[in-house]
């Protein structure tokens, strides 16, 4: 059985919880989760890769068991995770990015291209091509930050919406464990969580504004790149995955017949693809 250690450290006064597995000295792999989950989303993937890689999966600030103090922007999240990688000794690493983890990881890559050995994007977007109409209410809030538009977005935080995110586009919903979305709903129900998440939805426009910078990084540095994409994702469309090949011609792009949380149904297939890709 794979040994997974559950640890925490303090980064500039912010507690960051993380999972760690694998062997010190093995190639490093940083796993960055998305909304509204935590490092728990990698519970099935980690044991499938830990024999070959030294893996760390932090809970982003404002998520999971990490502190939510001073979390109101993706810049602040990236700054904290940047310092976190230095504290845990991740000087050179491959990064797996999903959803909110993508603008976090891409910021790290732009800032420290020499540290990135490869990028794996699971429904982690960097192109306008990938944004679906499901983003319309969020984009309305970017244009007009009224109380009314903010309140509309509270629907994204409801328990039913979380379950929908996990099950939409999945061919067999009985394959989706209720543990994942139940834990996410617990975290979303904590005092203060609603404002943290609404603030981040408002700030997501900063990620879109950085798309040209991310794309310039891809064109300039051409990192080893793998996209493993749930093709039925209601938020990030397949053209968003295909767009990476415009800037990284050697990018490997794989689609899976599932939804947003592809690891819930296709962890074995995605792990095998990663092992082949990273070698």
Residue 160's CB is within 10 A of a number of other CB atoms, namely: 10
Is 260 a known active-site residue? yes
> What DSSP letter does each residue of 223-275 carry, written as one string?
--EEEEEETT-SSB-HHHHHTHHHH-TT-EEEEESS-S-THHHHHHHHHHHHH
How far, in Å, CA of 43 to CA of 40, rounded?
5
**Long-range contacts at 10-16 (CB < 8 A, ≥ 24 apart):** 11/80, 11/83, 11/84, 11/87, 12/80, 12/83, 13/69, 14/61, 14/66, 14/67, 14/69, 14/70, 14/80, 15/65, 15/66, 15/67, 16/58, 16/59, 16/61, 16/66, 16/67, 16/80, 16/81, 16/84
The residue annotated as part of the active site, out of 54, 168, 260, 266, is: 260
User: In Å, how far are 90, 129, 242, 268, 270 from 133, measured between CA atoms?
Assistant: 37, 11, 18, 30, 27
Which residues participate in catalysis according to the annotation? Answer: 260
């Amino acid at each position: 059985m794979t040994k997974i250690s559950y640890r925490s450290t303090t980064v500039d006064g912010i507690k960051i919880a993380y999972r760690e597995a694998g062997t010190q000295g093995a190639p490093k792999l940083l796993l960055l989760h998305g909304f509204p989950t935590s490092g728990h989303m990698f519970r099935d993937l980690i044991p499938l890769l830990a024999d070959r890689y030294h893996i760390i999966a932090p809970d982003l600030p404002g998520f999971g068991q990490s502190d939510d103090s001073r979390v109101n922007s993706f810049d602040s999240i990236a700054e904290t995770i940047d310092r976190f990688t230095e504290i845990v000794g991740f000087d050179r690493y491959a990064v797996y990015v999903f959803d909110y983890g993508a603008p976090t990881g891409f910021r790290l890559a732009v800032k420290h291209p020499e540290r990135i050995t490869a990028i794996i994007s699971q429904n982690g977007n960097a192109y306008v091509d990938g944004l679906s109409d499901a983003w319309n209410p969020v984009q309305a809030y970017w244009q007009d930050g009224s109380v009314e538009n903010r309140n509309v977005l509270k629907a994204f935080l409801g328990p039913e919406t979380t379950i929908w995110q996990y099950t939409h586009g999945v061919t067999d919903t009985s394959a989706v464990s209720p543990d994942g979305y139940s834990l996410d709903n617990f975290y979303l129900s904590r005092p203060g969580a609603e404002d943290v998440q609404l603030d981040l939805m408002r700030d997501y426009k900063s990620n879109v504004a950085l798309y040209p910078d991310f794309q310039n990084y891809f064109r300039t540095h051409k990192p080893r790149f793998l996209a493993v994409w749930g093709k039925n994702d209601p938020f990030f469309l397949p053209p968003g995955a295909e767009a990476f090949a415009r800037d990284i011609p050697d990018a490997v792009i794989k689609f899976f017949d599932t939804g947003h949380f592809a690891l819930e149904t296709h962890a074995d297939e995605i792990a095998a693809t990663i092992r082949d890709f990273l070698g």
